[in-house]
Chain A
Amino acid sequence: MSVRRAFAALLLLSAPLSAQDTTTRGVRIGLSYDPGSRPGVVVLPGRGVGADSARLIIQRDLDFGDRINVIVLDASALADAERASAPSWALLAKLGAVAAVQVTPTGSGLHMAVYDVAKQTTALVKDYASAPITDMRAWRASVHRLSDDVEESLTGTRGISATRVLFERGNRLWLVDADGEQATPVTAPGTPLGGAWHPGGTKFAFADYTPPAKIIVFDLLTGRSHVVAAGGGGTYSSPVFTPDGDEIVYAHGLDGSDLYVCSAEGGPSRQLSVGRGSLNTDGTFSPDGRRIAFTSGRSGHPEIYTMDADGTNTDILTPLAFGENAFRAKPAWSPEGRTVAFQSRINGVFQLMTISLRDRSLKQLTSDGRNEQPSWAPDGRHMVFSSDRSGTQVLWVLDTETGRTRQLTRGAKARNPAWSPRLSVSN
Chain B
Amino acid sequence: MTRRNVVLAMSILAATSSLVACRKKPEPEPAPAAAVPAVDNNAANRRRADSISTANAAAQRRADSLAAARTAAANAAAEADRVRAELTNTLSQRVYFDYDQDVLRDDARAVLDAKAAVLAANGGVTIVITGHTDERGTAEYNLALGQRRAAQVKRYLESKGISESRMSTQSLGDSQPASQGTDEAAYQLNRRAEFESKNTSGTLVRPRP
Contact = CB atoms under 8 A, between A and B. Distances in A.
Interface of A: 191, 193-194, 209, 211-213, 233-235, 237-238, 251, 253-257, 277, 279-282, 295, 297, 301-302, 324, 327, 329-330, 343, 372-373, 415-416
B168 interface: yes
Given A193-B139, A194-B140, A209 B148 contact: no
Given A191-B175, A209-B172, A254 B140 contact: no
Contacts of A329: 137-138, 140-141
B138 A343 contact: yes
Contacts of B152: 255
Contacts of A330: 138, 140
Interface of B: 99-100, 136-141, 143-148, 151-152, 155, 168-173, 175
Contacts of B173: 209, 235
Given A257-B147, A279-B148, A233 B140 contact: no
A58 to B, nearest CB: 37
Contacts of B175: 191, 209
Given A211-B170, A254-B169, A324-B100, A237 B144 contact: yes
Contacts of B136: 327
A20 to B, nearest CB: 51
Contacts of B144: 235, 237, 251, 253, 256-257, 279-281
Contacts of A324: 99-100
Q: Which 10 A-B pairs have the closest CB atoms?
A: A257-B144, A255-B151, A281-B140, A279-B144, A211-B170, A237-B140, A235-B147, A329-B138, A238-B140, A235-B143
Contact of B148 (A213, A251, A255): A255
Given A255-B147, A279-B144, A235 B139 contact: no
A209 B140 CA distance: 10
Contacts of A237: 139-140, 143-144
Nearest to B139: A193
A295 B168 contact: no
A400 B100 CA distance: 31
Contacts of B168: 233
25 contacts: A194-B139, A209-B175, A233-B169, A235-B171, A251-B144, A253-B147, A253-B148, A254-B151, A254-B169, A255-B148, A255-B151, A255-B152, A256-B144, A256-B148, A256-B151, A281-B140, A281-B141, A295-B141, A301-B100, A302-B138, A302-B141, A324-B100, A329-B138, A330-B138, A416-B139
